[in-house]
Amino acid sequence: MKLVTVFKDWSRMDPEYVPGKCNIGRKGRAIRLSTGLVLIVLSVFLGLTFLSQLYWAFRLALFPPVYIGLLTILEGSMSFCVLHATRGTYDFQEPMGFASNRSKTMKKIVSEDWKRLDRRKALKMHAEAIIGALLLSLLLALA
């Protein structure tokens, strides 16, 4: 007798919305991870090559792209979009790979408790990205 499992391939399963944990799907995660990595690599490259001749305080201008890069990497690695959290929505089939109001698959969150959990997670992710961007920007400015 052959045993058959209900779910053969877990990677093909659609993710479920979990308040404060997961609100985007595979496509959104992949685009956010790649975008974040590109921003971080470009910022480090600019900081070490072109901006290295400038006064160190001018190199702190790398903070915004480093912050955005770290935030998108966090979003991709945690399956959680901070923009969806602030809007009170989730979308696992994002047609463009980012939070867009034109998405026909975006769903509203009805529970205020769930929205509160999402906002708390988003604030925590913002704080982590700010701290990381400050540290990396300071390292690049002093290098």
- How far apart are the C-alpha atoms of 90 and 93, rounded to whole Å? 9
> 109: which residues sit within 8 A by CB, 6+ positions away?
17, 19, 88, 89, 90, 115, 118
What residue ranges do the domains of the chain occupy? 19-89+107-142
Return the exposure string of 33-61: e unless at least 16 CB atoms fall within 10 Å of the residue's CB, then b: bebbeebbeebbebbeeebeeeeeeebbe
The pLDDT value recorded for residue 75 is 94
pTM of the model: 0.83
Residue pLDDT tens, the chain, 143 long = 444 444 444 445 557 888 999 999 888 999 999 999 999 999 999 888 877 777 777 788 889 999 999 999 999 999 999 999 999 999 888 877 667 777 788 899 999 999 999 999 999 999 999 999 999 998 888 87
